[in-house]
Structure 1
Amino acid sequence: MQLYKWKEGAIMAGLINIGFGNVVNTNKIVTIINPDSAPAKRIVQRAKDSERIVDATQGRRTKSIILTDSEHVILSALQPETLAGRFQNKEM
């Protein structure tokens, strides 16, 4: 596994491409969920209200929501299954 130096003292064990050249530290991901349920929509709205949202969809439809350990919410235009596959490939 390749290590990346991010900030002074912080090390990332891996990055996952979430679409359009955007990457997320795999150590920070708590879960990846489908955006179609009412609870998921509430999570997104609360993140917008608290300015903890990152929109990585490039204007396309949100197909997955990534929740991080820092309570940030990341929107992606890729399917949760696609992201999960990339995540699993990173761990090997």
Structure 2
Amino acid sequence: MHQVIAANLRVGGVDMYVLFDSGSTTNGVSHEAAHIAKLDVFQLKEPMTLQLGCVGSRSRVNFGTRSSVSMGNRNFPCFLDIVNIEHYDVILGTPFLKEYYDS
């Protein structure tokens, strides 16, 4: 049985189901969640290949956004790739965990 750390948090002012993934080298938000939260999406200068946490074996990341993640009364600014993910609205990986672990 796999156990995960997940929570309902506010991202961009909207409640989202968030996975904390220490094995992910990126932070990501699904296309649908970015649309619902009306996040300001922009094209990345250098697209990247995403191999974990996506629908299928690999996906191309072409877009990103900046948003805040709210936990309790604290807001954490965060860059998020726009990615094809299942089961979660947002995946917060090692970039988020490293930046805010001691906060």
Q: TM-score range with shorter-chain normalisation?
A: 0.3 to 0.5
TM-score between both structures, scaled by the size of structure 1:
0.35
- Larger relative contact order (CA 8 Å, sep ≥ 6): 2
* Greater helix proportion: 1
* Greater strand proportion: 2
